[in-house]
Structure 1
């Protein structure tokens, strides 16, 4: 039998671990996405065209309150 070559007995190093800041940033982004999705699903969105005129709870049609004559 032949002796194993030096390359075949070499141990491989484990892959480097993910930095803690990457894990924390990923978790914060995931929580932000979940929060926005929950607000959107409950109808309490984070903004929209009707929110600027205070029409979020109306039928969606804008009617002027005072008409210039």
Structure 2
């Protein structure tokens, strides 16, 4: 069955192998549950360019036909 000098005959080797297998399966499960899809921020390119180049242009508001222009 097992050779006399096999590393599997040492209880510490068996326990460490089992513990590592359990930890690996838990980490793979966590990755599959929480880290499956990348999160894309809204207007990411605009926010990055604002940070890098300091362009702080106010957002453009489209006026409807019945709206009045805001007072300045």
More helix by share: 2
Question: TM-score category by the smaller chain?
Answer: 0.3 to 0.5
RCO higher in structure (CA 8 A, sep ≥6):
1
Q: TM-score, normalised by structure 1?
A: 0.44
Give the TM-score of the pair, scaled to structure 2: 0.42
